[in-house]
Chains A and B, each alone.
Chain A
Amino acid sequence: MRGSFYAALAFCGRMLSPIILVPAVLNGLLTGAVYALVALGLTLIYGVLHIINFAHGALFSAALFAAFFAYRLLGLDPYIAAILLTPVFFLLGYGLQRFVIGPAAHGEDRNILLVTLGLAVVIENTLLYAFRADTRTVNLDYAFNVIDIGVAFLSVPRVIAFGVALVVALVLWLILTLTDTGKAMRAVAKEKLGAELVGIDVVHIYAVTFGLGTACLAIAACLLLPTYYVNPHVGNAFVLVAFTVVVLGGMGSVTGSLLGGMFVGVVESLSGLYLGESLGQIGIFVMFILVLLFRPSGLFGERA
C-alpha cells in the first residue's frame, strides 16, 4: 500500500521534472508553429471576409497530397516544392472565392457556411475516391536528423518548420502593413461599403485574401510533410486545432494566431504527456469550447 503510494509520488515527481517537461514544451512550440501557419490562413480569411472557411481542413489535405505527389512523381524535395505549390494554391484559393464561394453565397453568412462546408465535403471525398483511405509517407534521409541543444534533442525538419512559419508570419504582416493590396485588404476588413465607395475592387480583394490564406496551407503542408503522413482526412485534425488557435488568438489577428498556435502546441504536448496520445486532442477541444463559451473574442483579440 505505502510502497505503491511512494511509487506514485515518485512517478508524479518524474513527470514534472524539467528533463521531461522542457523537451515537451519545446516540441510543443515547434508543432505549434505549423498550427499557427494553418491558423494564419484561416484568421486572414476571417479577418477580411468575416467568414469561417470550413473548407480549410480539406484544402490542407489537398495541399499535403500535392506536396506528396510533387515528391513521389517529380522527385521534388518538399522544401523546393513549396516554391512551386505556394503560387498554385494562391491561384486555387483565388479561383474558389471568386468563382465558387462568392457567386454561390449571394453575400449571405448562412450560405457561405454551407458553401464552404459543401466544398470541404467535395474536396475530401474526391481525395478519398482518387487515393483511397491509405496513409502515405515520404522517406527523406534528413527526416530523423536531430540537433542537441543541451536540454533537449530537436528534430531538424521541425526546427526548419518553426523558422519558416515565423518568416511567413512576418511576410504576411509586411504585406498587410506596407503594400497597397494589404492596405486595401485592411480597408475592406474594416468597412466594406466605404472601401467599395473609394474604388477598391472588393470582389478582387476578397479573392486575393482567400488566395493568401490558401497559400499559407501549401507552405504549411510542405513544412509538415517530411515528419508527417498524408491521407484524405488528415486535414480535419488540423482544422479544429486551427479553429482553436484562431479563436484563442482573436479572429483576424496575425500575432494572435502566432501566439495562439504556440500555446495550443504546448497544451497538446503536455496533455499528451500526462493523459496519453488520444486524450491529448481532447485537451485542445475542451479548451476550444471553453474559450468559445466564455471568451469568444479570444485571449488577445478585441470583441468579435
Chain B
Amino acid sequence: MKGITVPWILTIVAALATLPLLTASNVVLNFLIVTLLIALVAQGWNVLGGYGGQYSFGHAAFFGTGAYVTAIMQMRYGVNAWAAFAVGIGGGALVGAIIGALTFRSGLRGSYFALVTLAFAEVLRILASVAPLTGAGVGILIALDLRPQAFQFQSRAPFYWIILALVGVSLVVVRMIEQSRFGAWLVAVRENEDAAKALGVNPTRVKFAAMTVSAAITAAGGAFYAQYYLFIDSGIAYGSWISVEALLAPIVGGVGTVLGPLLGALVVKALGELTKLVTGDTPGLDLVVYGGVLILIVAFAPNGITGLLTNLRGHFMRLRARALGRSDG
C-alpha cells in the first residue's frame, strides 16, 4: 500500500523537533503548539471521518471530555497531572465508545450521524455549563504549579516537544491502522458498507472501534489544551469551534491520508494568522475565512492538498515520460 512510511514519519517529527532550537520567539512557538494541537485533534477526526467515512460534527464531545476529566481529576481529586492526562484520554475514549455504540447500533449514517454527534456535543456543553462538578458557568482553573511533574513548564519549548510527540504517536498509529486488516475493513465500510458486509466485515464493530480510537486521539488534544492554557469552560471545551477545526484540517489536507491533518492544520492556521495580520484581531473574521476555505476545497479540490500534490506529480511524471519519448500517446 502506498503512503508515507514510519521511518519517514519519524524523520519529519525529528526535523520538527529542532525548531525550538532555532527560535526562542514565544509567538512562533505558540503558533506551532496550537497548530500541532489542531493537527492532533484533526487526526482523531481523520480516523473515523477520513478512513471510516463517518463525518462527525461533534468531535468537541471528545475534546471537551479529555479537557474536563484532566482538569477535574487534578483540581477536585488531587490526582497527579500526568495521571490525570492519561485518565482524560481514557474518559474521552469511553465517551466515544458510548456514543459509537448507541449511534452505530441504531444504524445511523450520513447526515443522521452528523446530526446526532452534534447533538451529543451540545448536550455535554449545556450539562457542563450548569453542573457544579465542571465549575458550571465559571469553568475550571488549574492551579499554577510550574514543575515538570505537574505537567507545567517555565518555557513553551517542553510543551512543544510534548505535543509534537503526541502528534508523532498519532501519525504512527494511523499509519499502522492504514496497513492493518482493520484499516482495510474501515476503508471497505467507507466505500460501500453493504458490500463490505456481504464480504464478512462487521460494519458496526469496525465503526465502533474506529470511533473509540478517534475519540481517544481527540481527547488527548483536549487534555493537552487544559494543561497548556490551565483554564477551560463549557464554551471552550465543548464549543462547536473545535468540531469545525477537527474536520476542517483533514479536509483541507486530504481526508484519509496519514499526513493530511498535519498539513491541513498548518495551512488553516497559517491562513488564520494571515487574516489576523491583514485585518487586525477582529472576532469572527478568521472563521469566515475557514468557512470559505471549506467550501472552496470541497468545490475545487475534494481530495485536499494531498490530492492536489498527487495530481501535480502525476502530471509531472507524464510530462517527463513524454520528454523521454516513452509517451503512451
Contact = CB atoms under 8 A, between A and B. Distances in A.
A301 B162 CA distance: 51
A172 interface: no
A278 B115 contact: no
B288 interface: yes
B24 interface: no
B130 A122 contact: no
A125 interface: yes
B292 A105 contact: no
Contacts of A115: 294-295, 298-299
Contact of B108 (A106, A285, A296): A296
B308 interface: no
Interface stretch (B76-84, B150-158, B279-287, B321-329): B279-287
Nearest to B118: A240
Interface string A51-62: 110100000000
A124 B283 CA distance: 11
Listed residue (B103, B126, B282) with the most chain A CB atoms within 10 angstroms of its CB = B126
Residues of A contacting B: mostly: helix
Given A106-B302, A114-B294, A128 B283 contact: yes
A240 B240 CA distance: 13
B106 interface: yes
A110 B110 contact: yes
Interface string B110-142: 111011101110110011011000000000000
B298 A288 contact: no
Contact of A103 (B55, B106, B288, B299): B299
A111 B127 contact: no
A132 B251 CA distance: 29
Contacts of B298: 104-105, 111, 114-115, 118
B148 interface: no
Given A110-B53, A293-B116, A121 B122 contact: no
A122 B119 contact: no
A289 B110 CA distance: 15
B123 A286 contact: yes
Given A111-B302, A240-B119, A286-B123, A292 B112 contact: yes
B279 to A, nearest CB: 9
B237 interface: no
A92 interface: no
A289 B291 contact: no
Interface in A71-121: 100, 103-106, 109-111, 113-115, 117-121
B105 to A, nearest CB: 8
A16 to B, nearest CB: 24
Contact of A52 (B115, B122, B129): B115
Contacts of A286: 123
Interface string B90-108: 0000000000001100111
A135 interface: no
A282 B131 CA distance: 12
Interface string A262-304: 0000000000000000110110011011001110100000001
B120 A289 contact: yes
A103 B291 CA distance: 16
Listed residue (B106, B111, B285) with the most chain A CB atoms within 10 angstroms of its CB = B111
B260 to A, nearest CB: 15
A86 B110 CA distance: 31
A25 B67 CA distance: 39
Given A109-B111, A289-B119, A292-B116, A54 B57 contact: yes
Contacts of A281: 126
B290 interface: yes
B38 interface: no
B123 to A, nearest CB: 5
Contacts of B103: 293
A282 B123 contact: yes
A278 to B, nearest CB: 5
Contacts of B290: 121
Interface of A: 51-52, 54, 100, 103-106, 109-111, 113-115, 117-129, 132-133, 232, 236, 240, 243, 247, 278-279, 281-282, 285-286, 288-289, 292-294, 296, 304
A-B interface, 7 closest residue pairs, ranked by CB to CB distance from nearest: A121-B291, A128-B284, A122-B291, A104-B299, A118-B294, A129-B284, A125-B284
Given A114-B298, A121-B291, 20 more contacts: A52-B114, A54-B57, A104-B295, A104-B298, A114-B247, A115-B299, A117-B57, A117-B247, A119-B291, A119-B295, A121-B244, A123-B291, A125-B291, A232-B284, A240-B119, A243-B115, A247-B115, A286-B123, A292-B119, A296-B107
5 contacts: A115-B295, A117-B57, A125-B284, A128-B287, A292-B112
